[in-house]
Amino acid sequence: MAERAVKQQETRAEPVQAQAADLSARQTYQPVYVESRRSKYEGEARRAAANFDRAPIDFQPSPLGAAGQRTRLGPDLSRKLTRELDKGGEPLPSGTRARMERHFHRKLGGVRVVNNAVSDELTQAVETHAFTVGQMVFFGSGVFSPGDPGSERILAHEMTHALQQESGFSDDIVIQRDDPNQEKKGDVWEGEGANRGYILDFEQNKYTMPELKLPKINNKIKGKSPLEGITATLISGPFEYQTRDQPRDTAQRQLWIDHIQANNTQIAGFIDNLAANPGSDNDTHPFYYLKIRSSNQIVSGTKEQLLERQEFMIPSWNKSGAPSFYDVDHYREHQLRGEDAIENVWLLQNSANRSAGSKIRNTVLSEINELYRRARADKFFVGHNANRDTLRFPRTPLGQDLKFTCVRAGDNLGNDVDVWTADDIIAAKQFRFGDRVLVRALTIDELRELGLTAGPNGPPTTVLWFLGKDSSFYRRVDIADLASPKYNGSPIGSSNDDFIKNFKVDSVSITPGFDPETATEDQQMGSLTGHVRGGVGTYYSRDKGQKVTGDRIEVQAEITMPLLYDPRYGYGSYIDRTGVRQALMAARAAEAKGTSPLAITEAGLSDEWAMEFSATLTSTHPLFEGFEATLGLTSYGIQLDVAIPTERLDFGFFRVTEADLSVAYGDEGLLFGGSAAFELRQVGTGAIAAMGEVFEGEFNFDFDFVNPAMISVRYENESWAFGGELGITEGVIPGLNSGLITVGIDEEGEFTFTGTAEVQLPGQTNPVEIEVGYSEEEGLSIGGTVDFDTSAWPMVENATVTVDLGYDTETGVWSLGGTGTASFAFPGVTGTLSATYNDGGIIFSGNGDVAIGNATGEFSFAIGNYPVNDQGEFDTSVDPLEEFDAWGSGSVSIEFGSYLTGTAGIAYTPEDEIVISGGIALPPSIELFEAREYERELLPFPRVEFPIFGVTIPVVGSIGVFGFIGGALRGFATIGPATLDDTAVDVTYTLGEPESAEIHGESHLNFGVEAGLELDVSGGLGLGVAVADVTGEVGITAALVLNVDAGADLDVDWTPVAGLSIDMALRGSASPSFRVGVFGQVAASVAVYGEVWSERWDETLAEFGSGLEISIVQPATWDEENGLDLDFANAEFTYPDIDLEEISSEIMDRMVG
């Protein structure tokens, strides 16, 4: 990008110069260009955003060209933008970045985001809500919301532009912007690109789809192509209609019959031209036997009866006269808003009719589900549309407006499908079609041959057994041997289906000697007995574990059908089938082999000579066990064609997410149609398509680290079959080098996902093998324990990390991570380190106990391959590095001898050492010794006596009491405690080498001394006569105290050899005065006379010595080996002369006086 042209001007310029510079700055700026939204680059960005959160994309973005259809941004906005570019923006949040990197298969660490007031102003100016310049994405207010799907789709759009500009050739500043309307989720979704033509419009309640495919019949698109005889409004494209708002309730069959009966003139004329039975020529109402050309059908009756016969209104033969059955059908399907009118109905061969209706119904339903699928994949069902999603419609919604842009030909149901129009029937073409006579009258010889009347040779041996009293269908039976009647030359019941399809005849009985001349109508002539079975074909036998061929339907019920007499049938009879339904409904057991038991709900003997029933099938097939569906047994075989709801499908270890499956019966067993999508938690997703008896498809693994990432899957014979080997691609996930995973099915039919992988974590020279596995409870597991080679790492040993591959559901990203432990590998440091590994980055960190020499403490250490930030910690918000870095710190207490203990910080150095970090701090107060007391006599005190009183007692005589004083002058002292305070030292010390320590500095010695003089005056009392007794006490005290501050500043020098020693001289002085006090009580007593005298003292007797100068000097030394060395005898007290006698005299005067 071109260098910025704007320079900051000097602020000290003169005013005129400043104005000129300002004008120059406004006129000079880096131009900014805005790319057109119609460029190819925008198309790429839109596609990338549309696919976001679906599957990772791997495309090469088109490099942004040097020129294009660009407009120029204004100068003021350009300057604002360039200032934001200079600031650098903010990095993507880690989770958002991980999701983007997974989607684009690119590292996006250089992308930055600007989301502030300036970016909001700029986005509004260029009419967008986000744009990209280089590697910086600018957002409008409230647009950028990490984790929000809509916001991150916008970001995915801008990421494409960042990749385009990263590889581009333009030196210009170019804005690439999205279209804000592209991401708006309103009430209408309109597909683009591959989704073009699909519109989901909730505003108008309309679904628009590109095309509707309608089946072709005889090369005509049903309901669209013009057809002779059909005059209803046909379908054309674009085709719009509203689905019926209630289930189908039509009466087209009765509509048809009423129309034919009202227009049967030509039918009646054709009957008039036919020959009646010769035996009824003279009857008022002749009787006709009319044979259908190529079918075993005879329609009999009078003309009036024939005009009422449904065979002539809805023929049971085709235009060749062969048996064929028809449904009255809407040419334009009723479900497509076809009219219930004669102009829109025809007779369609019933097999084609039922196929056409179901195909159209399924096609419309499939298109609706496809519309929703595409809108869902395009993230339309978010926000206020979240509750509008329907995962799968089981049936076409009622009252829904649909639009198909065009109508095309779909499946061809056949080119020779039999149809009749109402015009054909009214014109009696069912009697004669062109030159082909389809209905004729039987001759007398044919009547005799068929046993409808007696011949000249007596009763016939060949008769007709009709399918019912009023049925036109018959079988020709040889009754020459009444015990063993034959059909087509073989005894009835000799083989399956030989007489009635899906019915094994076990026995036939015929009443011998039957004479029609004497019989009454509906008289029994015999019976047929057997049981229902059929649907011969292939099915999977669970007992044998393989496919077998045989009857797939068995009903445990014996059915007997009477043979009854009717005059119309001569010597023949009709089969009474009225009891069939009840017999089958009461069947004890019915089974469709290979699928499930059956509960018969409707049954009977059809006009096609087939035992048929409808039953409820409760599936035992593993894919949809328990699912109930309607199964039919018809002349065509087993009829089962139902859609299986997604919620009823069971794919075993796979979970079905979406399906449109149907199941039918075919000659080879169950036949499946449609497709299904499924997933396996934490492993991947797959899709299969039904291919008749089997499902085939593929399974795509969610891992972008395996190759191949897809395997083929197959479902056949009630079990899954797949397998493969997946190689792990190196470099996709940091740390995961290589490996081989085997995928398959085990003997119990369970999913297996096993193998090994090699991981090489940062700092390791050789990879380590870990295990790969899967369980339904825990999902995918790829993990193991890695023992690290720590020889190249400092401080660490015995390092192990247990790693496993994890999946972040928020970001959709796989990453290798783990935790572990290690030990300190530094002498004197013990403890455990914790390890964390994540996506290529590893950190070992922890706290240890330090005991190195005379130092003890704690040490925190970390080593990892992330950059270290300004705070000295690993910055895990950025990508890990190839190189490792380490840091460590702590604190220790260091004992310097017995008395000095310092604290210091320690740190790890790049030289793989732990050293003292900063200074060593001694504590604020260091105690050298505790207080000690000392005492010493300074001057003796002679005993002095003095009289106190005299008394004369009768008999006893005179008694005298005297006192005496004695004692000494003593010196005393309390020395200590001693502390070193306010110590400031320099410490030279190498951790782990105590002998290297030297301490030099200054400290203040605080030495507490309390010293003084004590005048110890002890006194007593005496009596002059022995017979007298004196009791009591007298105390005389005198003392003074000197508080001595023995503090001093001193030098501190310590080495391990010399230790610490201190010389002290304690000095103190004071000018106190003595106070002498007396206290006590004395009582004198004489026998017989008792107490004769008493005295009490509690007073100060004397105070003297004011102005005395008293001092003390006490030398002492201290060292850490011997402690305090102090001899109190060496204390020098300085005090004036004290006249003890004078003091005594003064005391005595006070006491006596």
Summarised one tens digit per residue, pLDDT across range 748-769 is: 888 888 999 888 888 788 888 8
- Decide which of 123 and 665 is more confident: 123
Contact by Cβ (8 Å): 758, 740: no
- Cite the DSSP H helix spans in 1029-1095: none
SS (H, E, C) 1076-1091: EEEEEEEEEEECCCEE
Residue 272 · residue 302 · CB < 8 Å: no
Would you state the pLDDT for residue 645? 78
The predicted structure's pLDDT at residue 406: 95
Q: Are residues 46 and 149 in the same domain?
A: yes
Mean pLDDT of 1123-1133: 71
- The 3-class secondary structure across 7-21, one letter per residue, is CCCCCCCCHHHHHHH
User: Could you report the per-residue pLDDT of 482-498, keeping only the tens digit for each?
Assistant: 999 999 999 999 988 88
**What residues form DSSP beta bridges with 344?**
none
Residue 214 pLDDT exceeds 90: yes
Domain that holds residue 180: 31-184
Contact 220, 230 (CB under 8 A): no
Residue 943 is predicted with a pLDDT of: 60
| pLDDT at residue 1048, rounded to an integer | 56
C-alpha atoms less than 13 angstroms from C-alpha of 92 in its C-beta half-sphere: 24
What pLDDT, on the 0 to 100 scale, is given for residue 586? 84
Q: How would DSSP label each residue in 718-738? A: TEEEE-EEEEEPTTSSTTEEE
Total of domains in the chain? 5
| pLDDT tier, 587 (very low <50, low <70, confident <90, very high otherwise) | confident
State pLDDT tens for residues 372-402: 989 988 888 876 787 788 877 877 888 899 9
Q: How confident is the model at residue 819 (pLDDT cuts 50, 70, 90)?
A: very high
Instruction: Single out the residue of 745, 752, 804, 803 nearest to residue 773, CA to CA.
Output: 752
Say if CB 176 and CB 35 are below 8 A apart: yes
Higher pLDDT among residues 879 and 667, named by residue: 879
SS3 content of the chain, % helix, strand, coil (to 5): 15, 50, 35
Residue 987 shares a structural domain with residue 908: no
Neighbouring residues of 350: CB distance < 8 A, sequence distance ≥ 6: 325, 326, 327
Residue at which a domain ends, from 440, 462, 493: 440
Residues 912 and 993 both lie in one domain: no
Sign of CA dihedral 344, 345, 350, 354: positive
Asked whether residue 666 is assigned to any structural domain, the reply reads no
- pLDDT over threshold 60, residue 1033: no
* DSSP 8-state code for residue 1034: E
Question: Are 882 and 860 in contact, with CB atoms under 8 Å apart?
Answer: no
DSSP 905: E
Neighbouring C-beta atoms of residue 1134, cutoff 10 Å: 10
Domain-terminating residue out of 585, 609, 639: 639
**H or E segment and range at residue 355:** helix 350-377
Q: Are residues 104 and 237 in the same domain?
A: no
Among 1130, 1146, 1128, CA closest to 1138: 1146
Q: What is the pLDDT of residue 468?
A: 94
Count the Cβ atoms, other than its own, within 10 Å of residue 1104.
15
Q: What 3-state DSSP class applies to 73?
A: coil
Beta strands 173-177 and 32-35: pairing type? parallel
In this prediction, residue 933 has a pLDDT band, given cuts at 50, 70 and 90, of confident
In a domain, 683, yes or no: no
Average pLDDT over residues 586-607: 84
Question: Helical H runs in 67-207?
Answer: 75-87, 94-104, 117-125, 149-166
Give the Cα separation of 637 and 658 in Å (integer): 31
Q: Are 1036 and 946 in contact (CB under 8 A)?
A: no
The tokens of 470 are what? 């009023």
Instruction: Examine residue 977 and say whether the peptide bond preceding it is cis (omega within 30 degrees of 0).
Output: yes
Range of lowest pLDDT (226-235, 266-275, 890-899) = 890-899
1119: confidence class by pLDDT, cuts 50, 70, 90: confident
Evaluate whether 824 touches 830 at the Cβ level (below 8 Å): yes
For residue 1042, give both structure tokens: 């000197």
H-run or E-run covering 441? strand 439-441
**pLDDT higher than threshold 50 for residue 47:** yes
What is the mean pLDDT of the segment spanning 943-953? 52
Going by C-alpha positions, the residue among 531, 533, 488, 524 that lies closest to residue 507 is: 531
Within 13 Å, how many C-alpha atoms sit on residue 183's CB side? 25
CA distance 1149 to 1153: 5
For residue 597, is it left (φ>0), alpha (ψ between -120 and 50) or beta? Answer: beta
Q: What is the mean pLDDT of the chain?
A: 80
Phi first, then psi: give them for residue 124, nearest 5 degrees: -65, -35
Residues 288 and 362 in one domain: yes
Between 401 and 944, whose confidence is greater?
401
Note whether residue 1040 is domain-resident: yes
In order of 529, 603, 637, 883, the CA distances from 591 in angstroms are 20, 15, 15, 73
Comparing C-alpha atoms, which of 176, 170, 171 is closest to residue 2? 171
Residues 91 and 211 in one domain: no
Q: Output the DSSP codes for 1094-1136.
A: EEEEEEEEEEE-TT--EEEEEEEEEETTTEEE--GGG-EEE--
**Which of the residue ranges 53-67, 232-246, 332-346, 603-617 would you say has the lowest mean pLDDT?**
53-67
Distance CA 300, CA 1002 (A): 143
Contacts of 727 (CB under 8 A, 6+ apart): 706, 707, 708, 738, 739, 740, 741
Nearest to 154 by CA among 52, 63, 41: 52
Q: Which of 203-207, 298-302, 548-552 has the highest mean pLDDT?
A: 298-302
Position 453 pLDDT exceeds 80: yes
Indicate the pairing of strand 779-787 with strand 736-745.
unpaired
Sheet with 287-292, side-by-side order of all strands: 298-302, 287-292, 439-441
Q: In the predicted model, is pLDDT for residue 192 greater than 90? A: no
* Residues paired with 613 in a beta bridge: 603, 633
Q: Are residues 935 and 834 in the same domain?
A: no
SS3 109: coil
Same domain, 953 and 1045: yes
User: Is beta strand 206-217 parallel, antiparallel or unpaired with respect to 401-412?
Assistant: parallel
Least confident of 211-225, 463-477, 748-762: 748-762
Question: How much of the chain, in percent, has pLDDT values that exceed 70?
Answer: 76
At 116, which amino acid appears? N
pLDDT exceeds 80 at position 694: yes
List pLDDT tens digits, range 528-546: 999 998 888 787 787 787 8
978-988: pLDDT as tens digits: 777 777 666 66
Report the amino acid identity of residue 521: E
**Is residue 290 predicted with pLDDT exceeding 90?**
yes
Give the end of a domain, one of 613, 639, 665: 639
Q: Which DSSP state fits 40?
A: H
Count CA atoms closer than 13 A to 38's CA, side-chain side: 3
Asked, for residue 713, whether it belongs to a domain, the answer is no
At residue 444 the predicted structure's pLDDT band, cuts being 50, 70 and 90, is: very high
Q: What pLDDT score does 1018 carry?
A: 53
Within-domain flag for 649: no
Domain identity same for 889 and 815: yes
522 — pLDDT class (breaks 50, 70, 90): very high
Contact predicate 661/643, CB 8 Å: yes
Instruction: Tell whether 932 and 797 lie within a shared domain.
Output: no
- DSSP-assigned letters across all residues of 623-658: GGTT-EEEEEEETTEEE-EEEEPGGG--BTTBEEEE
Residues 761 and 633 in one domain: no
Instruction: Give the range among 39-53, 126-140, 248-262, 528-542 with minimum mean pLDDT.
Output: 39-53
Calpha distance 176→640 (Å, rounded): 58
User: What three-state secondary structure class fits 504?
Assistant: strand
Identify whether 686 is part of a domain.
no
Supply angle C-alpha 109, 67, 105, rounded to 5. 25
pLDDT at 565: 96
Q: Name the residue with tokens 């019926």.
A: 244
pLDDT of residue 238: 92
Give the residue among 1143, 865, 1152 at the shortest CA–CA distance from 1021.
Answer: 1152
Residue 1134 has pLDDT above 80, yes or no: no
Q: What does the DSSP 8-state code read for residue 93?
A: P
Flag whether 691 is in a domain: no
What whole-number distance in Å separates Cα of residue 318 and Cα of residue 316?
7
Across residues 139-150, what is the average pLDDT? 86
The DSSP bridge partners found for residue 1016 are 968, 1037
Q: Show the beta-strand stretches assigned E in 168-230.
A: 173-177, 188-190, 199-201, 206-217, 220-221
The residue that leads in pLDDT, 282 or 325, is: 325
pLDDT at 426 (0 to 100): 97
Lowest mean pLDDT of 342-346, 486-490, 518-522, 979-983, name the range. 979-983
Query: What pLDDT is recorded for position 9?
Result: 32
* Tens-digit pLDDT profile for residues 552-572: 888 988 999 999 999 999 999
The predicted structure's pLDDT at residue 3? 36
Is residue 449's pLDDT more than 60? yes
Residue 523 has what pLDDT? 95
Name the pLDDT band for 65 (thresholds 50, 70, 90).
low
- Mean pLDDT of the 339-358 span: 88
Structure tokens at 456: 């000249």
Q: Is 861 left (phi over 0), alpha (psi -120 to 50) or beta?
A: beta
Query: From residue 843, how far is each of 415, 759, 863, 876, 981 by CA, in Å?
Result: 76, 17, 6, 10, 44
Q: Give a yes or no: residue 653 inside a domain.
A: no
Q: Which of 211-215, 409-413, 645-649, 750-754 has the highest mean pLDDT?
A: 211-215
Total residues belonging to the chain:
1153
Q: pLDDT tier at 1153 (50, 70, 90 boundaries)?
A: low
Instruction: Provide the pLDDT for residue 572.
Output: 94
CA pair distance 1066, 930, nearest whole angstrom: 16
Residues 450, 419 share a domain: no
Q: What confidence score (pLDDT) does residue 227 get?
A: 92
Task: Tell me: pLDDT of 258 over 90.
Answer: yes
